[in-house]
Amino acid sequence: MTILERLATHGHEQVIAFQDSRSGLRGFLAIHSTRRGPALGGTRVMRYAGEDDALEDALRLSRAMTLKCALAELPAGGGKAVIIERRGFKRRAALEVFGAVVETLGGRFHTGPDIGIGPADLEAIGRGTSHVARENDPRLGDIGQHTAIGVAHAMRACLEIAGIAPRGARVAIQGVGSVGAWLARILAEAGCMVAVADVDESLARRIAREVDGTVIPAGRVLSAPCDVFAPCALGGVLSARTIPKLRARIVCGAANNQLDSAADGERLARRRILYAPDFLANAGGVIRGAEYYLLRRASSWETIERIHERMLRVASLAAPRNASTARVAEALAESRLRRAK
């Protein structure tokens, strides 16, 4: 399949391949949709097996951002940028050049942090464009915290549906970076029994001590007995190979693109595992970004709390048909896209 055929399959408007030989910059910027407003999406810096994998990541993540914004009823669409970390990559210089690439789009794409991006990186991007979120803006707040609170609202809805009280509920969190760590704190405060896993074992131990939780080896978290499995690391964790290993009644986490394929949503439904679609549950961060930068709102807590209601609605529509909650949520998002001008 050619690149243009892949764009047509995913419904993208535009994909830019960019490179700069002096700084070692190389990557892709994908704009999936601007029908509802400018495309929002983070920038990630990662090592990829090949350029094709980086492109596929940008395509899938940008489409998920469109669904996320549409389902959250935001005046925005979806985009994503991926930068390939490789030999000769001069980080600060490369990110400054990337900022200039973003600036050429004239506000059609607004970006922010993602995997591999920290505050200093955002400052470097900001030297090339004004269309980037800065983590040191106290009025914006902590985007990771906003994302985690949204996931907690979705999880609360799932627990209600399953008839499980939050106090004492067993939650296994896979990945305790910025969002996963915030989620662990929020759930511990609500009385959940939190277990954490991370490839960085020292980080997992530190967060477990902070929330009076336990540590699970990273290779065993998928099969850990729990009420809720919360994937908060990389995507593609739920697949034909891993879903049979799950010993949870609910899957609700912050990672993007948790399903390896659309069929995996059906696999979860057949096992009667309640799945909170990632683009529904993890929308708290983009809600805050959109409301702050596009709508100039001082606070987004009330809007983020509506994730609870959306999860209840999606589950209520999926249950009578024993259907995939992911497909139901996607259909709702696409119906809003169709109604956009």
Q: Where are the domains of the chain?
A: 3-64+76-126, 143-339
Nearest CA among 261, 232, 278 for reference residue 67: 278
When pLDDT is averaged across residues 283-304 and rounded to a whole number, the result is 95
**Per the confidence metrics, is the pTM higher than 0.95?**
no
Confidence at residue 341, expressed as pLDDT on a 0 to 100 scale = 64
Catalytic residue numbers?
A: 80
- Mention every residue, 6+ apart, whose C-beta is less than 8 A from residue 340: 35, 36, 70
Q: What is the rounded CA–CA span in Å between residue 184 and residue 178?
A: 10
The dotted CATH code for 3-64+76-126 is 3.40.50.10860
- pLDDT-derived band of residue 82, with 50, 70 and 90 as boundaries? very high
- pLDDT-derived band of residue 322, with 50, 70 and 90 as boundaries? confident
Q: Which amino acid is at 323?
A: A
Q: What is the rounded CA–CA span in Å between residue 90 and residue 227?
A: 44
**CATH domain 143-339 topology:** Rossmann fold (3.40.50)
Confidence at residue 6, expressed as pLDDT on a 0 to 100 scale = 73
When pLDDT is averaged across residues 214-230 and rounded to a whole number, the result is 97
Q: What is the rounded CA–CA span in Å between residue 281 and residue 255?
A: 9
Identical fold between 3-64+76-126 and 143-339: yes
When pLDDT is averaged across residues 80-100 and rounded to a whole number, the result is 97
Confidence at residue 4, expressed as pLDDT on a 0 to 100 scale = 72
Q: Which amino acid is at 186?
A: I
When pLDDT is averaged across residues 255-283 and rounded to a whole number, the result is 96
Residue 239 clears pLDDT 90, i.e. is over it: yes
Per DSSP, what are the bridge partners of residue 46? 84
